[in-house]
Amino acid sequence: MPFLQYKYHTPHPTFLLEHSSPLSLNPTPFSSGFSAHSLSFRHFTYRYFHILFPTKLSVEPLAQHLQVVVHWCLKEEMVESDTKLPFSMDSDPPFEETYKTLFENSIEESKINRANQILITCEECELPLIDIGRLSMGELEREECKKEIARASQEWGFFQVINHGVSSEILEDMRSKQMQVFKQPFRLKTNHQYLNLSAGCYRWGTPTATCLSQLSWSEAFHIPLMDISSSGGLPTTLSSTMGQFAATVSDLAQRLVEILAEEMGHKSTFFKEKCLPSTCYIRMNRYPPCPTSQIFGLMPHTDSDFLTILHQDQVGGLQLVKDGRWIAVKPNPEALIINIGDLFQAWSNGVYKSVQHRVVTNQKVERFSTAYFLCPSYDAVIESCVEPLLYRKFSFREFRQQVQEDVQKLGYKVGLPRFLV
């Protein structure tokens, strides 16, 4: 039973919310033309979550229709408080409207594969945590650290690093600016001139999805490093913050791939020559609260790059495959997550593993993350550095085209198996 009662007033397109419970809530008028508002709740403790009201609310006598996302208050106990709850009416992508058919057909879908739901908590299977500050210490510490990096890349394909050189101030500032960007109205984010970035940099959902289990409940900005210096718009300091983040994680990525190459006996200049700022990019991700657990925040996949560096908030949701089972990654506020991409698996002839990972949704809390992708130029040729070859040589362009073709035809990425000898 809702604690809010709705009354509609004319002649202006406004409506009034009144509290119908014994709790004290001052009536608050809203204008339908605003993109965001806030309610002031007083004298009680509350819990709240986003709820999407039935698609249309009739406003009499104007018969105007509104679709409103509100914070629903649940009575807890009478205590003294004074808190504002901001909410946005139009910043979320229109998932339910756009993918309405998938929601209607979901009743006929079978339950998600049981194997897909097997979870082991990180307390049971810890992701390797490596202090790479030891790379600046004596030879013994340095060599042991390198071996740990190589071992984690072989056995897990994922590991965490601390003392990585990216300051907590940069990471926190990045998250703050990222949240500001995503809170802008959806119609603004879809405008390719927003932030003065390349057309198509803003993406959401899964256009090729044919069922809910193929839908990614997320939105993201894919930003080439070359675009960062020219990014403007809102917020005004985003370019500076992203520039600092990109510079530090780019250096970290190059250090890590050089170590991994050396551990295989190769002091290759390939990565410095082929993985340039003009070919790498950053992706800012947001995973809104989702009404059903049938939907992934990000579908199971492997990364189509050499190496990925991820900074995530403390909400959690990242999961990966280890020994044929899905495990959850417990967020570590001091760590960055590193994972091997498809190209590195091919280059290393299968020594380093690019493993499947995914993001599960949260019904109450939004999640933010920022990822850096170390990619080569499209013309770069990927060829295994040892024999006998597991994969034939291919260009990054060919690999990308094959991935896109498979996604269009099959609804999912096949990846490296297409390039086996």
The CATH number assigned to the domain holding 333 equals 2.60.120.330
Which DSSP helix (H) or strand (E) runs through 39?
strand 36-42
32 and 111 both lie in a single domain: no
Backbone angles phi and psi of 190, in degrees to 5: -80, -10
121 and 187 both lie in a single domain: yes
> pLDDT tens digits, the chain, 421 residues: what are they?
333 333 333 333 333 333 333 333 333 333 333 333 333 322 222 233 333 333 333 333 333 333 333 332 322 222 222 323 333 558 889 888 888 888 877 655 545 444 454 454 444 467 899 999 999 999 999 999 999 999 999 999 999 999 999 999 999 999 999 999 999 999 899 887 777 777 889 999 988 888 888 889 999 999 998 888 655 554 567 888 899 999 999 999 999 999 999 999 988 788 999 998 889 999 999 999 998 888 999 999 999 999 999 999 999 999 999 998 999 999 999 999 999 999 999 999 999 999 999 999 999 999 999 999 999 999 999 999 888 999 999 999 999 999 999 998 988 899 999 999 9
53 and 166 both lie in a single domain: no
169 and 247 both lie in a single domain: yes
- Residue 286: predicted pLDDT: 97
List C-alpha distances in Å: 143 to 60, 128, 147.
74, 17, 6
259 and 404 both lie in a single domain: yes
Q: Any idea which residues carry the catalytic annotation?
A: 367
66 and 157 both lie in a single domain: no
Rounded to an integer, what is the distance from CA 112 to the centroid of its chain? 22
**Contact indicator for 367, 312 with CB cutoff of 8 Å:** yes
- Residue 55: predicted pLDDT: 36
243 and 117 both lie in a single domain: yes
Rounded CA separation 101/259 (Å): 49
Residue at a domain's end among 49, 69, 88: 88
- Residue 143: predicted pLDDT: 97
Rounded CA separation 54/52 (Å): 7
Q: In what order do the strands lie in the sheet with 4-9?
A: 4-9, 14-19, 28-31
Residue at a domain's end among 71, 88, 105: 88
pTM value? Answer: 0.76
Question: How many domains does the chain contain in total?
Answer: 2
Q: Identify the domain containing residue 403 by its residue range.
A: 95-419
According to DSSP, the residues that pair with 359 across neighbouring strands are: 298, 318
Q: 3-state class of 246 per DSSP? A: helix
338 and 320 both lie in a single domain: yes
- Residue 354: predicted pLDDT: 98
- Residue 32: predicted pLDDT: 34
Which DSSP helix (H) or strand (E) runs through 320?
strand 318-322
- Residue 165: predicted pLDDT: 93
Rounded CA separation 277/11 (Å): 56
Residue at a domain's end among 62, 88, 114: 88
* Closest to 332 (Cα-Cα) out of 311, 346, 352, 354: 311
* Closest to 320 (Cα-Cα) out of 335, 334, 338, 306: 338
Rounded CA separation 87/183 (Å): 9
Is the N-terminal amide bond of 61 cis, ω within 30° of 0?
yes
- Residue 101: predicted pLDDT: 84
74 and 112 both lie in a single domain: no
Rounded CA separation 175/167 (Å): 13
37 and 124 both lie in a single domain: no
248 and 397 both lie in a single domain: yes
58 and 119 both lie in a single domain: no
